[in-house]
Amino acid sequence: MKILVTGAAGFIGSSVSQRLLERGDQVVGFDNFDPFYARTIKEANLKALESPAFDFQMGDLLDNEALRSCLKGVDGAIHLAALAGVRPSLENPTRYMRVNVEGTTTLLQACQELQINRLVVASSSSVYGPRTETPFRENDACDRPASPYAASKKATELACATYHHLYNLGITCLRFFTVYGPRQRPEMAIHKFVRLAMNGEAIPMFGDGTSGRDYTYIDDIVDGTVAAFDRQRGDFQVYNLGGSNPVLLRELIDAIGNAIGKPVDLEQKPWQPGDVPVTSADVSLAQKDLGYSPKVDLAEGLKRFVTWYREQNGE
């Protein structure tokens, strides 16, 4: 098959693209090298995808003509491009809404016009908001987002539901739960914490360390994303993709110390606006429909990440 992957130079996008290429698909990669983090990192991600079956096109989600050009002749699309991050969205909420909601709608409209009827769209566990009842299920109310980023992802899901209703587009939205692993963005917690600890610097602990996250290793996310694309046959569905084992922040920091083989220092920080107390995925629906079953636990995932980090930094 020939598949468009938006955000193909990013962490998840490059990992999904690599899996598709390895199994024999053709991939059209689409990315605009947004300066949220260094372009050199994204170029390194793309270098791992070099293949006659990989066609990279630089372009912006808000550019209808660029999107239409990349969509011509594809069998479907996996839409992973977005402005990411809860805290940065508080500083520039308008841009987050424009890129994530308007950009996704531009893609949906182009797919409708070109009659492309197989889409997978990345959403986020952040749509569940500051709830404490766990685990989170796909049919839970998601009407109290705690950040502009979360609101933009919920709005993206609603746009997808609308296009399915109006035009019968086959769309699957995937709520990713705190993805980590090789190629992870440098500002994300695990990457940042490992970097600080390896350099002998203190790790910031926001709040009292009792916030919990359902960390999900990248290979498990790739498994679920590809399975969702393969399954899509014209309906609209939302799935959680998580690790199903929430870990407290203070437990994560201890686990990082174990993974790098030395104790870590902490710097106490206040609770951050936009953060939520816990995320926890019920993945029973994804397990039933997609055969999704997370295989990499936190200890193993951190071990793999630290190995990758050391290789990247010559340590």
The catalytic residues are 149
Contact present, 52 and 46 (Cβ < 8 Å): no
Q: Which candidate, 157, 182, 189, 169, places its Cα nearest to that of 82? A: 157
**How long, in residues, is the chain?**
315
Burial tier of 167 (Cβ tally within 10 Å: 0-12, 13-18, 19+): middle
Residues whose CB falls within 8 Å of the CB of residue 255, separated by 6 or more in sequence, listed in order = 247, 298, 299, 302
Antiparallel, parallel or unpaired: β 216-217 and 266-269: unpaired
Tokens in use for 292? Answer: 């999704």
Q: Which candidate, 161, 149, 27, places its Cα nearest to that of 88? A: 149
